[in-house]
């Protein structure tokens, strides 16, 4: 089966996508991770995307669609995949449909904006291996140091409060309309995000079978 995860920044899409990936044995395709990798390696696409990501804006459709088209053509996607962070706009969803990609379920994870602010502003990421921590919910053994590789933990620019607000504004204006788009297709399933990850996971798995 092919899945899409929707939800505001910090709703827990990535966490739940990884759980479902292990459960179903299919890859998670996160455009955010692909773009961040391109930023770090300084590729042409990464340089084009940099100005957008650092200001909390969406990367233009033509860049993102090109990334997705190439990724879905890889062999590990033949038995299904999970899209996390794509589509983010109606034109992207329409482009996906035009590619002939069939989506079976669209899971929308709903959380409050206060929960989002708490989650994202407290997140810290290893600048070396990308492992994620939180100043309250998932502290490293040594403050500021990655448990896995010893790298330095940093706050991403797009997790700073002013950028979170910009990201949420963009989400409400450009991404939230996707709920109605997929509801019309009969594919949307809404899940209430919980503080406890496993509770959200149970709700996601129930929604997939619904």
Is the CB of residue 85 less than 8 Å from the CB of residue 8? no
| 184 labelled catalytic | no
Is the CB of residue 90 less than 8 Å from the CB of residue 181? yes
Catalytic residue among 71, 88, 105, 119: 88
| 98 labelled catalytic | no
Shortest CA distance to 4 belongs to which of 202, 175, 200?
Answer: 175
Catalytic residue among 13, 71, 105, 189: 13
Burial of 179 per CB tally in 10 Å (0-12, 13-18, 19+): middle
Shortest CA distance to 63 belongs to which of 81, 26, 89?
Answer: 89
| 124 labelled catalytic | no
The β-bridge relationship of strands 132-134 and 123-126 is antiparallel
Burial of 34 per CB tally in 10 Å (0-12, 13-18, 19+): buried
| Rounded-to-integer distance, Cα 39 and Cα 100, Å | 29
Catalytic residue among 36, 71, 123, 124: 123
Cis peptide before 13 (omega within 30 of 0): no
Catalytic residue among 105, 124, 167, 189: 167
Is the CB of residue 174 less than 8 Å from the CB of residue 89? yes
Catalytic residue among 48, 50, 57, 156: 156
Q: Which residues have a catalytic role annotated? A: 13, 88, 123, 156, 167
């Amino acid at each position: 089966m092919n899945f899409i995860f929707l939800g505001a920044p910090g709703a827990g899409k990535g966490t739940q996508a990884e759980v479902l990936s292990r459960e179903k044995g299919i890859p998670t395709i996160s455009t955010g991770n692909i773009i961040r990798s391109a930023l770090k390696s300084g590729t042409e696409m990464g340089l084009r995307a940099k100005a957008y990501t650092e200001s909390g804006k969406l990367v233009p459709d033509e860049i993102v669609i090109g990334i997705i088209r190439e990724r879905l053509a890889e062999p590990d996607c033949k038995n299904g995949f999970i899209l996390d962070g794509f589509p983010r706009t109606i034109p992207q969803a329409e482009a996906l449909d035009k590619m002939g990609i069939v989506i079976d379920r669209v899971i929308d994870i709903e959380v409050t904006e206060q929960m989002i602010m708490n989650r994202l502003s407290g997140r810290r990421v290893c600048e070396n291996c990308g492992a994620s921590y939180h100043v309250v919910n998932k502290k490293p053994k040594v403050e500021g140091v990655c448990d896995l590789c010893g790298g330095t933990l940093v706050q991403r620019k797009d997790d700073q409060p002013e950028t979170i607000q910009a990201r949420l504004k963009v989400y409400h204006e450009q991404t939230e309309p996707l709920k109605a788009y997929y509801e019309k297709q009969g594919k949307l399933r809404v899940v209430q995000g919980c503080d406890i990850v496993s509770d959200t996971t149970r709700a996601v798995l129930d929604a997939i079978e619904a």
